[in-house]
Chain A
Amino acid sequence: MTKIGLEIHCQLTKLESKLFCSCKADYRGFEPNVNICPVCIGLPGSLPILNQKAVEKAVMISMALGCKVPQKIGFFRKNYFYPDLPKSFQITQYNAYGPTSIGYDGKVLIEDKEIRIRRIQLEEDPGRLVYEGSSEKTQITLVDYNRAGTPLVEIVTEPDFETPKQVRLFLNLLADLVENLGVSDPALEGALRVDGNISIDKGNRVEIKNVASFRDMEKALHFEITRQQSLAERNIPIPAETRHWDEGRKITISARSKEEEQDYRYFPEADIPAILIDKTVIERLGKNMPESIISKKERYIKKYGIPLQVAEVLSSDKFYSDLFEQAHNEKNAKEIANLITTDLKGFADTKEQRQQLKLTPKHLSDLADAIMDNKLTRNSGKIALQEIVKTGKLLSEIISSFDLGHVDDESSLSKVINDIFAEEQNAVAEAKNNPDTINYLVGKVMKKTKGKANPSLTLDLIKKKLDAQ
């Protein structure tokens, strides 16, 4: 029986300021040691001042993961020495003396498996060691404190995962969740960090660290299972240890530095009083929580008859669901959902693409309406969409300038059909007996009209003409 547990650190990148001071929460893009102040570099006499929104957002994450939120939350000090830790302690949360962290005893369902959330805690990120040498040549370490004090939510699960796939599904759910809640942008480098632990058949637990992405975590876990199983088969005991994921060689290797049991001497942080979180606060935060992904999905299916696959894609991506919410009405909801998840997806998958997108919700609804009213074929719609995404021009403009309008009138269509009949005499002969060839002729008409011909009308006219012959 494989048992896998996770420890995830999620930076609250969408907050304006750090956890205990007013420096910027998202430290990316600053020159070294510019995003600092006496508090986050721990100057003598400085004191931490807790960020209200950080607490609120962390409570929301706890609630979304089914956790209990205590009435009083408290902070603790974790004491150790490291160059990236300016106070030589981290202000974090700790539950050994009773539950005081922002969430505990939660659960999430992954593929029908209940994954228990042991605890969720709010804490500060240390600075970054930008340059660290391990050879005799390198004489110094360089430290950048821009990140010191960035708000983190740490999520620790019980070792309830049974397969690496479950882990990946959970991590994706978590990434979507924090994005949906508006607390973090998981696409930012380092915003969501995962460590794992794994044991097989009641053997020793192995910690896995230094994993850069979710995909790598899945790979690392697969590798570990294989490695541990092969040791077990040969009756070799599996040592309890910490292993690092080697990106290049795609294997885990035993961490060279012996990570001993550190005595962190946890004790309460007296500079931050206990924060009271009563029922009214929980209710208020619960009401203001954005709709959960699951609830969205169910609503899309039930209310608009959107098929399951489409609903899943739409609900789990905040960008798409926001677009959908703004663009749709009862009538065109299904069509818009389709447009987004099939056609738009190709143009709006990456962050850069989305930032440069000139498409507005109105474009989508205009487009959907035009297709549903048969003013535009699906094909033409695709062309129009591409143009909209690039230029943001109105649909009406694009239809006329690209000459995308449906060819609807019988006389012009008949003319084209006559031309095709003249060019494809063999096909015409076949078509009298073979319905597939009729489609071939329809296709030819569509090609000649650059996709503008009304397909059903074209089919009717061709059939009539064949019958007449």
Chain B
Amino acid sequence: MSLGISATQYHQQVRNESISVEEYVARTLERIQKVEKKVHAFISVNENALSQAKQIDKKLKAKEKVGSCLGMPVSIKDNICTKRMKTTCASKMLEDFVAPYDATVVSRLKSQDVIIIGKTNLDEFAMGATTEFSYFGATRNPWNTDYVPGGSSGGSGVSVSALECLASLGSDTGGSVRSPASFCSVVGLKPTYGMVSRYGLVSFANSIEQIGPLARTVEDVAFILNIISGHDPHDNTTLDNGKPDYTKDLDAGISGKKIGIISEMIGDGIDKDVAAVTNRAVSKLQRLGAECIPISIDSAVHSVAAYYTIASAEASSNLARYDNIRYGYNFDLEGYEFNAYISKARGSFGPEVTRRMLLGAFVLSAGYYGKYYLKAQKVRSLIKSQLDAAFKKVDLLVAPTMPILPFKIGEKIDDPLTLYLLDINTIIANLAGIPAISVPYELAHGLPIGIQFFANAMQEKMLLQAAYALHKTTNLPEVPL
């Protein structure tokens, strides 16, 4: 039995009884045991996974109705609430926190008989691009364990890439699903803002972030999207997507489609290998029948400044509730005065989170609102209108997901601004609220390079079709771990 099958293949094999859920989950747990010391993708593993698997096998045997996930092991980023399993956000501030409720995305998957195999590592409170800012230690890239796996959903990307699960849910605020997808050679989707409920996602930048699926194939990502997407009464920002079947007509191809290559994202700043790979991908798209033309989104050059202004501002507010009084870590409050206690307790945030909260407080403080925050929101609006204009000329946009190859752990950790600039290709999708997907394409020096597609809001179907068409042409090696 191979662990490296896709979710779709898993479903087929379970249905035709060539594997049992218990077997697959047992093998998965063994795999986790084996590789975790090398990659550290998980913060916690579900001790009840095997008994849950047995339960599903029982139901299958009794010909009872079983949900479409059929017991597939899925990992969940540890900033998404799961009942009875800790949700730490990779932070000391939530070290002991167990949510009394499941996030909507989790309950929707559970209602389809998914097995949550574990909670994955992330940059603390999803703030970071390399998963090095976790309170519980860094996650490592399975393609070369000296290298970063991307972030902030690094644990999600690695758990899928290293065959520790069939799919994962991450969260994408500035590229945090697509960056690990690209660095770990898996598929990662950031849906349209409002497409997937944020109820149960621990807020970092609530006007920007979305939960998104990662998996080894586009079809698997579409399968997960079917289950988790759609209006949720627990989240006032969700949209009604009409509940389409995203797996249907996935192989429709891109013949006749117009695809814009974002010129600002293949310019001088990017790595030579990335540039070369992108050119090859574009040629492939043309051979598949698409017309590829250059498109300029010049406001993109301000996207990083705008994003970090808004995201930091929202973070400084969203994380203000962590005062260690109602939940948190062990720290007795006897004898302390209120302000002194909470200030001391909040001193346990990591340096990146602290840095962003200071920035956020700065840009929102009296006198500065117009200078930075208001301007950033206007830039955001400008980016959206330029993208709208672009989508009148083309159906999709394409660019490399990351401007550089994965780099060594520790290499950039003391240079926050450089790390922020890594988001330059992914951020416009978050700011404008449009969907974007990263598809693994090639390796360079054994390190993965992903290609990114963008579509206009609510156009996930077309986006997935393009991703599927390109991914089908690849023939990437198995993960070396």
Q: In the complex, A touching B, CB below 8 Å? A: yes
Closest A residue to B374 using CB positions: A97
Please, which residues of chain A bring their CB within 8 A of the CB of B373? 267
Task: Report if B201 contacts A (CB, 8 A).
Answer: yes
Please, which residues of chain B bring their CB within 8 A of the CB of A271? 203, 206, 235-237
Task: Report if A289 contacts B (CB, 8 A).
Answer: no
- When the two chains form their complex, are residues B334 and A139 in contact, meaning their CB atoms are under 8 A apart? yes
- When the two chains form their complex, are residues B203 and A86 in contact, meaning their CB atoms are under 8 A apart? no
Please, which residues of chain B bring their CB within 8 A of the CB of A270? 206-207, 237, 314
Task: Report if A81 contacts B (CB, 8 A).
Answer: yes
| A20 nearest CB across to chain B (Å) | 9
User: How far is it, in angstroms, between the C-alpha of A267 and the C-alpha of B374 when the chains are bound?
Assistant: 9
User: How far is it, in angstroms, between the C-alpha of A77 and the C-alpha of B319 when the chains are bound?
Assistant: 13
Q: Which of B300-308, B360-368, B471-479 touches A? A: B360-368
- When the two chains form their complex, are residues A47 and B335 in contact, meaning their CB atoms are under 8 A apart? no
User: How far is it, in angstroms, between the C-alpha of A265 and the C-alpha of B323 when the chains are bound?
Assistant: 18
User: Which interface residue of A41, A46, A49, A97 has the most chain B CB atoms within 10 A?
Assistant: A46
Q: Which of B96-104, B172-180, B221-229, B457-465 touches A? A: B96-104
User: How far is it, in angstroms, between the C-alpha of A42 and the C-alpha of B200 when the chains are bound?
Assistant: 11
User: How far is it, in angstroms, between the C-alpha of A87 and the C-alpha of B321 when the chains are bound?
Assistant: 5
Q: Interface size class for chain B?
A: 35 or more
- When the two chains form their complex, are residues B206 and A44 in contact, meaning their CB atoms are under 8 A apart? no
User: How far is it, in angstroms, between the C-alpha of A47 and the C-alpha of B321 when the chains are bound?
Assistant: 13
- Given A81-B339, A265-B364, the answer on whether A47 and B235 have CB atoms closer than 8 Å is yes
- When the two chains form their complex, are residues A47 and B314 in contact, meaning their CB atoms are under 8 A apart? no
Please, which residues of chain B bring their CB within 8 A of the CB of A47? 198-199, 234-237
Please, which residues of chain A bring their CB within 8 A of the CB of B196? none
Q: Which of A250-276 contact B (CB under 8 A)?
A: 263, 265-267, 270-273
Task: Report if B455 contacts A (CB, 8 A).
Answer: no
- When the two chains form their complex, are residues B81 and A44 in contact, meaning their CB atoms are under 8 A apart? yes
Please, which residues of chain A bring their CB within 8 A of the CB of B207? 270
SS class of chain A's interface: helix, strand, loop or mixed?
loop
User: How far is it, in angstroms, between the C-alpha of A444 and the C-alpha of B367 when the chains are bound?
Assistant: 84
Please, which residues of chain B bring their CB within 8 A of the CB of A82? 338
User: How far is it, in angstroms, between the C-alpha of A43 and the C-alpha of B202 when the chains are bound?
Assistant: 9
User: How far is it, in angstroms, between the C-alpha of A272 and the C-alpha of B236 when the chains are bound?
Assistant: 6
User: How far is it, in angstroms, between the C-alpha of A277 and the C-alpha of B206 when the chains are bound?
Assistant: 24
User: Which interface residue of A42, A81, A270 has the most chain B CB atoms within 10 A?
Assistant: A270
Task: Report if B233 contacts A (CB, 8 A).
Answer: yes
Task: Report if A214 contacts B (CB, 8 A).
Answer: no
SS class of chain B's interface: helix, strand, loop or mixed?
loop
User: How far is it, in angstroms, between the C-alpha of A81 and the C-alpha of B203 when the chains are bound?
Assistant: 18
- When the two chains form their complex, are residues B317 and A43 in contact, meaning their CB atoms are under 8 A apart? no
**Per-position contact with A for B330-370: 1 when CB-CB < 8 Å, else 0?**
00011100110010000000000000000001001110010
Task: Report if A83 contacts B (CB, 8 A).
Answer: yes
- When the two chains form their complex, are residues B199 and A265 in contact, meaning their CB atoms are under 8 A apart? no
Contact of B317 among A49, A79, A272 (CB under 8 A): A79
User: How far is it, in angstroms, between the C-alpha of A48 and the C-alpha of B253 when the chains are bound?
Assistant: 41
- When the two chains form their complex, are residues B203 and A263 in contact, meaning their CB atoms are under 8 A apart? no
| B341 nearest CB across to chain A (Å) | 10
- Given A50-B236, A140-B334, the answer on whether A44 and B326 have CB atoms closer than 8 Å is no
- When the two chains form their complex, are residues B99 and A45 in contact, meaning their CB atoms are under 8 A apart? yes
- Given A81-B323, A265-B364, the answer on whether A46 and B199 have CB atoms closer than 8 Å is yes
**Per-position contact with A for B203-218: 1 when CB-CB < 8 Å, else 0?**
1001100000000000
- When the two chains form their complex, are residues B94 and A77 in contact, meaning their CB atoms are under 8 A apart? no
Task: Report if A38 contacts B (CB, 8 A).
Answer: yes
Task: Report if A89 contacts B (CB, 8 A).
Answer: yes
| B170 nearest CB across to chain A (Å) | 15
Please, which residues of chain B bring their CB within 8 A of the CB of A46? 199
User: How far is it, in angstroms, between the C-alpha of A176 and the C-alpha of B201 when the chains are bound?
Assistant: 44
Please, which residues of chain A bring their CB within 8 A of the CB of B327? 43-44
| A33 nearest CB across to chain B (Å) | 10
- When the two chains form their complex, are residues B81 and A89 in contact, meaning their CB atoms are under 8 A apart? no
- Given A45-B81, A47-B198, A140-B333, the answer on whether A263 and B366 have CB atoms closer than 8 Å is yes
| A79 nearest CB across to chain B (Å) | 5
Task: Report if B325 contacts A (CB, 8 A).
Answer: yes
- Given A140-B333, A265-B317, the answer on whether A49 and B234 have CB atoms closer than 8 Å is yes
Contact of A81 among B201, B326, B342 (CB under 8 A): B342
Contact of B361 among A86, A141, A265, A273 (CB under 8 A): A265
User: How far is it, in angstroms, between the C-alpha of A395 and the C-alpha of B334 when the chains are bound?
Assistant: 67
User: How far is it, in angstroms, between the C-alpha of A44 and the C-alpha of B88 when the chains are bound?
Assistant: 10
- Given A45-B199, A88-B321, A265-B317, the answer on whether A273 and B334 have CB atoms closer than 8 Å is no
Task: Report if B185 contacts A (CB, 8 A).
Answer: no
Closest A residue to B366 using CB positions: A263
- When the two chains form their complex, are residues B100 and A43 in contact, meaning their CB atoms are under 8 A apart? yes
User: Which interface residue of A47, A50, A82, A141 has the most chain B CB atoms within 10 A?
Assistant: A47
Task: Report if B89 contacts A (CB, 8 A).
Answer: yes
Contact of B320 among A41, A48, A89 (CB under 8 A): A89
Task: Report if B313 contacts A (CB, 8 A).
Answer: yes
Closest B residue to A79 using CB positions: B317
User: How far is it, in angstroms, between the C-alpha of A310 and the C-alpha of B446 when the chains are bound?
Assistant: 92
Closest B residue to A38 using CB positions: B101
- When the two chains form their complex, are residues B236 and A273 in contact, meaning their CB atoms are under 8 A apart? yes
Task: Report if B144 contacts A (CB, 8 A).
Answer: no
User: How far is it, in angstroms, between the C-alpha of A183 and the C-alpha of B323 when the chains are bound?
Assistant: 35
User: Which interface residue of A44, A88, A141, A265 has the most chain B CB atoms within 10 A?
Assistant: A44
- When the two chains form their complex, are residues B100 and A44 in contact, meaning their CB atoms are under 8 A apart? no
User: How far is it, in angstroms, between the C-alpha of A251 and the C-alpha of B441 when the chains are bound?
Assistant: 77
| B351 nearest CB across to chain A (Å) | 21
**Per-position contact with B for A208-252: 1 when CB-CB < 8 Å, else 0?**
000000000000000000000000000000000000000000000
| Inter-chain pairs besides A48-B236, A79-B317, A140-B333, 17 sampled, C-beta below 8 Å | A44-B81, A44-B87, A44-B89, A44-B97, A45-B201, A46-B199, A47-B198, A47-B199, A47-B236, A77-B317, A79-B320, A86-B326, A87-B320, A88-B323, A265-B317, A267-B314, A267-B317
Interface residues in chain B, defined as those with a beta carbon under 8 Å from any beta carbon in chain A: 80-81, 87, 89, 94, 97, 99-101, 103, 198-203, 206-207, 233-237, 313-314, 316-317, 320-321, 323, 325-327, 333-335, 338-339, 342, 361, 364-366, 369, 373-374
Q: Which 6 A-B pairs have the closest CB atoms?
A: A270-B207, A88-B320, A265-B364, A45-B200, A44-B202, A45-B81
| Sample (9) of A-B pairs whose CB atoms are under 8 Å apart | A45-B80, A45-B201, A49-B233, A79-B320, A81-B338, A81-B342, A267-B369, A270-B237, A271-B206
